[in-house]
């Protein structure tokens, strides 16, 4: 997919991985709608991007992704401004062990809602031009994650949902679904995990970082760009498990029923 003139919507877009993804899209000629609950940081990021890439290419929309009405409204406002939608990145995510239901709502439920909204607006069945959706999961969605089991559950859910829906979405709607699984990335979320007080947790964290490496947000954005640009892939799971290393995970071969709609 050539990105010049394409329109992307990114959640959790004003810092960390989301900001890096938004910027790599802008650098490659796309227009980007930035969704984030953090309004002060959003305004700063918007102003910085406008100076480099032009105000006509950027839209910042305050959004709590756990609110279905807000999420729907942001999709509509994106289409109103840019008149099309080609790329959706469901990136917003948190770690919250005290309020684990919120963790699931942000990390999994909002990803499902954002995916269905993206399909709704890009589907060739409803007059769209097709497109691609990249959902951001985590290596914690592939291996046990001692520090936050509910966070792991949410990311396992993203992997399962995305790869499962991809089996029929491209043929029916013209929309490719991909999932990106970063390892440890230098973000505010990671710094929160590093501040664990228990010595045994700190030791485990150090061992995991030593095993999987510590990546930059720009390296994750490169993986995202790879998934978006390669139109030959659908339902791909791309791991960013070591510093600078991107590797596709082979999914089990599956046999679809002859008539999936009847199941």
Give the CATH number of domain 7-185+216-241: 3.40.50.720
H or E element, residue 246: strand 245-248
| pLDDT digits 0-9 by tens, 163-177 | 999 999 999 999 999
Higher pLDDT among residues 263 and 182, named by residue:
182
| pLDDT digits 0-9 by tens, 223-244 | 999 999 999 999 999 998 776 7
Distance (Å, whole) CA 68 – CA 120: 14
What pairs with residue 179 in β-bridges? 135, 237
CB 13 within 8 A of CB 24: no
Q: Poorest-confidence range of 64-78, 120-134, 158-172, 243-257?
A: 243-257
CB 115 within 8 A of CB 133: yes
Q: What is the largest CA-CA distance in the chain?
A: 56
Q: How many CA atoms lie within 13 A of 259 on its CB side?
A: 3
Domain boundaries of the chain, sorted by first residue: 7-185+216-241
Q: State the CB neighbour count (10 A cutoff) for residue 215.
A: 24
| pLDDT digits 0-9 by tens, 72-87 | 999 999 999 999 999 9
What's the pLDDT band for 44 if we cut at 50, 70, 90?
A: very high
What's the pLDDT band for 263 if we cut at 50, 70, 90?
A: very low
Higher pLDDT among residues 209 and 190, named by residue:
209
Find the catalytic residue in 146, 151, 156, 248.
151
Q: How many CA atoms lie within 13 A of 54 on its CB side?
A: 7
Antiparallel, parallel or unpaired: β 237-242 and 175-182? parallel
| Helical spans, DSSP H, in the chain | 16-27, 39-53, 68-82, 100-104, 110-122, 149-173, 188-194, 199-212, 217-229
As given in the structure block, the two tokens for residue 219 are 């390296």
Reply yes or no on whether the pLDDT at 213 is more than 60. yes
What pairs with residue 237 in β-bridges? 179
> Is 156 an active-site residue?
no
Distance (Å, whole) CA 236 – CA 183: 17
Distance (Å, whole) CA 182 – CA 201: 21
CB 112 within 8 A of CB 67: no
CB 147 within 8 A of CB 249: no
Neighbouring residues of 113: CB distance < 8 A, sequence distance ≥ 6: 65, 68, 71
- Residue found under tokens 């590093």: 194
Mean pLDDT of 148-174: 96
What's the pLDDT band for 262 if we cut at 50, 70, 90?
A: very low
Q: Poorest-confidence range of 44-48, 96-100, 133-137?
A: 96-100
Neighbouring residues of 22: CB distance < 8 A, sequence distance ≥ 6: 8, 10, 13, 32, 34, 45, 49
């Amino acid at each position: 997919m050539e990105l010049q003139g394409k329109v992307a919507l990114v959640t959790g877009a004003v810092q960390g991985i989301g900001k890096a993804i938004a910027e790599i899209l802008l650098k490659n000629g796309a227009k980007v709608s930035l969704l984030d609950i953090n309004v002060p940081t959003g305004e700063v990021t918007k102003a910085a991007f406008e100076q480099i890439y032009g105000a006509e290419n950027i839209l910042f929309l305050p959004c709590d992704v756990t609110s279905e009405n807000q999420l729907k409204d942001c999709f509509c406002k994106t289409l109103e401004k840019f008149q099309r939608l080609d790329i959706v990145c469901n990136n917003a995510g948190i770690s919250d062990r005290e309020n684990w239901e919120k963790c699931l709502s942000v990390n999994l439920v909002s990803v499902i809602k954002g995916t269905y909204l993206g399909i709704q607006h890009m589907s060739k069945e409803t007059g769209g031009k097709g497109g691609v959706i990249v959902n951001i999961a985590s290596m914690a969605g592939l291996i046990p994650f001692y520090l936050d089991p509910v966070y792991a559950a949410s990311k396992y859910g993203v992997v399962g949902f995305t790869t499962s829906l991809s089996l029929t979405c491209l043929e029916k709607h013209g929309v490719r679904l991909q999932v990106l699984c970063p390892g440890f990335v230098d973000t505010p979320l990671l710094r929160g995990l590093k501040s664990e007080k228990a010595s045994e947790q700190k030791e485990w964290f150090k061992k995991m970082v030593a095993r999987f490496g510590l990546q930059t947000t720009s390296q994750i954005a490169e993986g995202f760009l790879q998934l978006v640009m390669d139109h030959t892939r659908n339902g791909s799971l791309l791991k960013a498990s070591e510093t600078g290393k991107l590797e596709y995970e082979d999914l089990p071969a599956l046999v679809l029923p002859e008539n999936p709609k009847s199941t």
